Structure 1
Amino acid sequence: MLACAVLFAVLALSSLWSEAGEATWLQLMWIVLMLGVLCVVSAAAQLSPKVAVDTFMLLSAVTGIIFAVGGLVLGGSGARLAAFGGGPNVFARITGIGIIAAVFWMLRGKRGWPALLAFIPVMAVANILSGSRGALIGTVCGLLVVCVAFSWRTWLKFGLCTVVASPILFILYGQYGANVEKVVALRIVKLTFEEGYTSGRDTLWEHATSSMSENPVFGTGLGSFMTNNGFYTHNLFLQVGVDAGLLGLAVLTVALLVLVRGLWTKNTRSPVVLGPLAAGTTIFVASMVSGDHYDTRFFWAYLILACAAAGRIRSKTSGKAGACSSEPTEVPPHRI
């Protein structure tokens, strides 16, 4: 939490040399909101990491289901699926994390996990129909992370659930199969692999790199790139570099290293660690090609939860090792 707070403080300080005007105040408001969310998550994780992780992941699964159903039912006639006023990229992140959270709930063996698994095909279809390639790759990467916690029994359980849910798959294919095939053929195969279409990301990244070269140490200030170009950079590292220069990038790197160090535990296959880590991985991968500071707020939240869970596992492990130690222990006076 401290590492994240330092990063956001540096970004906030960059507003002092920004010329973005109202855009700077909007970015500052987002940073304050991000810190508020992270403080609540951090406090909950300190009280009980497992309860905090379980609650956050359950809410993530329910939110993913609500967005997926809302997008499929009320998505309208747009070319890319979205819901509740948000864009397709945000929609895809939410549904992707919902899939991971449903798998996590199965790994934890919590009550109602079959019902959440039954909605995975719905969220998967919604995720693909969003057309967000970055979020789709992020979802796949997140699933690879959470699958590390799978045992052969888990794979068997997951396979049986897939067989039982096959009627849902047939219904979804009959309703949305043609649209899914169209999105895969057009946005993924043709635009991405054949034409190399980047939705203008390459131009934005060139502008961001140029801006960083002109102001390498402290950057151009919070919100300046958005004001000058009409878009954010669609890359977390470039966004921090443009706003706060090498200073911001150094603090961002340290924050990520602190989080990675906090995740280290011998029991690396624990679902309470891998679940939020997988959700954070989805957002992190997607943030390489989409979004700005505010869009990555839950990346930090999931990683803080994963670190808290890993820390609790480490403390229990060291406690057991201490209990087995041959060192003599002092007997309290009232026990003599």
Structure 2
Amino acid sequence: MTGRDELRSIDRYGRWVLLAVFVVLLGGRFTLDRLGDFPAWDLRWAGLAVVGLLWLASVTVARERTTPVRTAALAGWFTAWAVWMAVSAFWAPPDARVSGALLDLLFLVALVWAGWSVAARVHPAVLSSLWWWLYAAGWLYLAGALAAGPDVQGRYSAFGGGPNVFVRVMALGLLASLFLATTRRAHWVLLAIPPFLYGAYMSGSRGGLLALAVVVVVGGVPLLRRMSRTTVGTLVLGGAAVALVAPFVYDPAWFAFLRSRFLEQTLQQGYDSGRGDIVERSLEIFAAHPWIGAGLDGFYALQGQGTDYEYPHNLLLAGATEGGLLGLGLVVGALVAGGLVLRRLRPLDTDTLGFALAALFMLVASMFSGDYYDSRFLWFFLGVAVLAARARSRATPAPRLPAAEPVTAGASHEG
């Protein structure tokens, strides 16, 4: 087997591992009973088994043939945070659902580490497959949401994941469309932008839409600089076409939903889905347990029972409430560690920029909804961005210093 064949084998196995990790992460806490009259088995176990087998095959092939890229301090901070939150189960309140929370942390660390370890070995072109998978997931979830129809509030979701999950898939699919068009010149994928924007809007997730707006503000100009004139022209023509067609497909329900969800409820009535109350309850717990927190799932045990609030719906607030200052410091340290690597290795190539923006979107969205396991794509994409940036840095030769001029014999010296 030649070196080229070995690398191809490494990439082939690595792509399958990444795909398996991606599918399991995308599925969330999918149980078998959602498909019909079946037992409520947690399919993450089966997914983790498949990932493990593929990972072993990949590592067996790649062990002696590639030098993996490292995630620098990110992996250490991330693992320390997860371990600390797991250890906090020892002082969790009696009513805390410790077993379920520990299981979520186990799946989170195992899947993220499996994805990182393979992403550290494969060719960067393999990582770009993530964009195609996100693009396909966007269409799949959009079709599922349209087939299921809106809920009583007029909000859309798919496969039992809820509107806040749905908006994340739509936003990541939107990013995939832009980066596929930019890096692969596959301009036909831009046709998905209007449907994905529509899906994100009809999710009614204010936090998700705010996160998408942050990504546009932060990444809009850097992405435009990387686009070809053809890509920019296609976007402009596509936007003009949508503007011309919009009056003919206008549905009054779209603006009724805008008025009800975003104007009346949010601005006039001040409805925040209980997020203000959640913050107050979380700060009460933090004030009582500032150093090591109330323990894993302590929010539910102390404040969440009898309410609709099972967790703080904020990654940083959850770390502080249940892990104390140490838990907050570790999760912030992990985020800062990843961000510093990306900042130090600028300018980022296009795919790395995209992975970083995907992580940024998930970070902002995690400030408004979700628990520890719901942050899985944040950690996955942050690690992939760091690995891609470091791989590119390692492949780029350092600039050569100019050679010193030789000193000839007999040359005069001043002084």
- TM-score of the aligned structures, taking structure 1 as reference length: 0.88
- Mind listing any 5+ residue stretches in structure 1 that lack a counterpart? 328-336
1:96–1:139: 8 Å Cα contact kept in structure 2? yes
Q: 1:99 aligns with which of 174, 188, 205?
A: 174
User: Alignment length, in residue pairs?
Assistant: 323
Cα shift readout 1:285-328 (whole Å, capped 9, x = no counterpart): 111111111111110100001111111222234x2415x6649x
How many angstroms apart in 1 are the aligned matches of 2:109 and 2:248? 44
**How many Å apart are 1:142 and its aligned residue?**
2.2
Q: Residue 319 of structure 2 aligns with which residue?
A: 240
SS in 1 for 2:399: helix
Which residue matches 1:11?
85
Cα separation, 2, equivalents of 1:155 and 1:132: 33
CA distance in 1, matches of 2:334, 2:177: 28
Q: Does 1:137 align with 2:210?
A: yes
More displaced 10-residue stretch of structure 1: 158-167 or 28-37 = 158-167
User: Which structure 2 residues correspond to residues 65-104 of structure 1 after superposition, within 5 A?
Assistant: 65-78=139-152, 79-104=154-179
Q: Which letter does structure 1 place at the counterpart of 2:212?
A: T
Aligned to 1:212: 286
Question: Which residue of 2 is the match for residue 308 of structure 1?
Answer: 387
Q: Is the 8 A contact 1:128 1:180 kept in 2?
A: no
Asked if the contact 2:94–2:301 (Cα under 8 Å) also holds between the matched residues in 1, the reply is yes
The Cα RMSD (Å) is: 2.4
Q: How does 1:161-310 map to 2 (within 5 A)?
A: 161=235, 163-164=237-238, 177-228=251-302, 229-230=304-305, 231=309, 232-310=311-389
How many angstroms apart in 2 are the aligned matches of 1:42 and 1:172?
A: 43
CA contact (8 A) 1:145 1:277 kept: no
The change in CA–CA distance for 1:154 and 1:167 in structure 2 (over 3 A counts) is: same
1:273 is displaced (CA, Å) by 1.6
Contact kept, 8 Å, 2:224 with 2:232, in 1: the verdict is: no
Mark the structure with the bigger radius of gyration.
2
Identity of aligned residues (%): 25
What residue in structure 2 maps to residue 120 of structure 1?
A: 193
Q: Which one-letter code corresponds to 1:234 in the other structure?
A: H
Do the aligned residues in 1 keep the contact of 2:131 with 2:179 (CA within 8 Å)? yes
> Against the structure 1 CA distance between its residues 248 and 22, is the aligned structure 2 distance closer, same or farther, given a 3 Å change threshold?
closer
CA deviation after TM superposition for structure 1 residue 114, in Å:
2.7
- For 1:3 and 1:189, locate their aligned partners in 2 and report how far apart those are by CA, in whole Å: 40
TM-score relative to the length of structure 2: 0.72
Moved more, 302-311 or 15-24: 15-24
1:287–1:263 CA distance, 2 compared to 1 (3 A): same
Q: Secondary structure at the match of 1:151?
A: helix
Return the match for 2:399 from 308, 321, 333: 321
1:152 is displaced (CA, Å) by 7.8
Question: Could you tell me how far apart the structure 1 residues matched to 2:119 and 2:227 are?
Answer: 29
| Structure that is richer in helix per residue | 1
